[in-house]
Chain A
Amino acid sequence: MLLAAVLAAEDVSFVLVGGAALYLHGQPIPVADIDAVPAPGASNLARLYAALAAVVPGGRVPSVRSLGTADVVSLRTSYGRLDCLLGRGRRDWDRLRVGARLVNVSGTGVMVASAAAVTALRREHKGTGGE
């Protein structure tokens, strides 16, 4: 969960989805990784790139251009595994923002998608066999 707070502290605009979001909504489920839907837009992707370069050992991070076209980027950071659902952000950013709320994680506000939106995304994900 610290990873989500670190990304927020680095001024990356994103909405947390997946198991971590449900955990922050109070559901007692194990959190194996962080699923983040970043806001589309070149400046946010540039901040995302800089933030990732600081938490991925060796700084092996896709370029800003790749982040702008990739659907999902999975990375191993020093805080744990991160799935950036970039395609979802390009398609559904405005919808996911509706109902999202700020949750305090170690003194830092993390934007978390609504439980209904997270559940719908998970159902959709399972139905299609992937993002």
Chain B
Amino acid sequence: MSDRSGAGLVELAVLQALEAVTAGRPQANVPSARALAEIEERIGLGPRYGYQVLADLARPWMIPVRTVSGLGNFGDRDFPEPSEPPYTKCRPSHAGQLILDAEAGRLPPVPVGLINGTTYRGGSQPPLEPFRVLAALRRLLDEPRVSDADLLRVVGLPYSVTGCDLAGDLDALARGRRTAIRQTGRISITGVPVPDPADDRLVPPDNRGWTGWDTPLPPRPVHLMIESLPARTTINDAARAIAQRAEPRRWHGSHAQLAGRTALPIAEVDDRSIGYEVRIGVQLRPGADPALVRDQIAAIYGVSIEEDWAFPAPLASMMRAWVDRYRGEDLGASLTRLEDAIRRDRRRELRNR
């Protein structure tokens, strides 16, 4: 872990390689293939591994503060594979540039490592909401004797980059204990009425099907909408997992109790996602209870995952240590610059979508 930004060593080497190939022109994007060659030259990390790191640092659903700005197809929630390196471009993001400046001593330290945590690279330190971290650190700068409880109220507790619900002993996590945390995708009940089974019988099965060219198809009713998924679950995998549960299995009749707990009364799974936004519509079969099916879908592995998370020390102590360590430098200015950089990166991200 680097000292003045908390960036991982490989991540920092990637950023330094990008800085070198952009030749000090921070707005210049370079082909990823060129950046990867520089990374290999510097630290011996081969292009295939280097590209995984580079892509993760550019993906907004992986980390709260992206340190690489990507141009081109770095993948999305449906198909995370990026285009080949010659077809994408990259440069340090505004926040990434601040990391480089802080590490080189050109700027006071920036708490990017504290915000991003390490879960995006398979570690166990969870991410935090960037603007709440900045507010908490400012509070510490202004009021060094602020209580831990007040500090934790400001910083909030951990943060799902993809907007999932978190459950577990979050207080123990904040105290620095290793804790099992469950992330569950957000599933809303749309309020569209589920047809009664009797209505479904009005059209005999023999008469269903093609109704002619001129009959416009009505929009499919969606009774449940999945609006977020854990970062490493692709939309495609989640949709397939749900659809698999709707398929009849030959044992459903002989193992009725098990079938009741596992088979889902779903007529259709409709992926309406665009880019990074998850929107999987679920149409229920007549008579199904939306709340019950929502809970069953939420229990599907992938829609919900459990991981052990841990801060290396109590969270309040980590923030105090960071502020105390660098109190002699103009931390207020670096926090303001980081806030500005995050906002600019997010605006750019929205423009590029």
Residues of A in contact with B (beta carbons under 8 Å apart): 2, 5-6, 9-11, 30, 32, 54-55, 57-58, 76-81, 105-108
Cβ contacts B327-351/A at 8 Å (1 or 0 each):
0000000000000000000000000
Closest 5 CB pairs of A and B: A107-B257, A78-B241, A57-B237, A9-B251, A57-B241
Residues of B in contact with A (beta carbons under 8 Å apart): 180, 236-238, 240-242, 244-245, 247, 249, 251, 254-258, 261-262, 300-302, 306
Tell whether, in the assembled complex, residue B255 and residue A78 are in contact, meaning their CB atoms are under 8 Å apart.
Answer: no
Tell whether, in the assembled complex, residue A2 and residue B301 are in contact, meaning their CB atoms are under 8 Å apart.
Answer: no
Identity of the chain B residue whose Cβ is nearest the Cβ of A81 in the assembled complex: B301
Neighbouring B residues of A30 by C-beta, 8 Å? 180
Tell whether, in the assembled complex, residue A5 and residue B258 are in contact, meaning their CB atoms are under 8 Å apart.
Answer: yes
Tell whether, in the assembled complex, residue A58 and residue B240 are in contact, meaning their CB atoms are under 8 Å apart.
Answer: yes
- Taken together as a complex, chains A and B put the C-alpha atoms of A30 and B240 apart, in Å, by 28
Neighbouring A residues of B256 by C-beta, 8 Å? 107
- Taken together as a complex, chains A and B put the C-alpha atoms of A9 and B256 apart, in Å, by 11
CB distance from A34 to the nearest CB of B (A): 11
- Taken together as a complex, chains A and B put the C-alpha atoms of A9 and B258 apart, in Å, by 9
Tell whether, in the assembled complex, residue B251 and residue A78 are in contact, meaning their CB atoms are under 8 Å apart.
Answer: no
- Taken together as a complex, chains A and B put the C-alpha atoms of A9 and B255 apart, in Å, by 7
Neighbouring A residues of B236 by C-beta, 8 Å? 57-58
Tell whether, in the assembled complex, residue B258 and residue A106 are in contact, meaning their CB atoms are under 8 Å apart.
Answer: yes
- Taken together as a complex, chains A and B put the C-alpha atoms of A57 and B301 apart, in Å, by 10
Tell whether, in the assembled complex, residue A54 and residue B247 are in contact, meaning their CB atoms are under 8 Å apart.
Answer: yes
Identity of the chain A residue whose Cβ is nearest the Cβ of B238 in the assembled complex: A57
Tell whether, in the assembled complex, residue A57 and residue B240 are in contact, meaning their CB atoms are under 8 Å apart.
Answer: yes
- Taken together as a complex, chains A and B put the C-alpha atoms of A107 and B253 apart, in Å, by 12
- Contacts A6-B258, A30-B180 aside, 20 further interface pairs with beta carbons under 8 A come to A2-B258, A5-B255, A6-B262, A9-B249, A9-B255, A10-B251, A54-B249, A55-B244, A57-B236, A57-B240, A57-B302, A58-B240, A76-B301, A78-B244, A78-B245, A79-B262, A79-B301, A81-B301, A106-B258, A106-B261
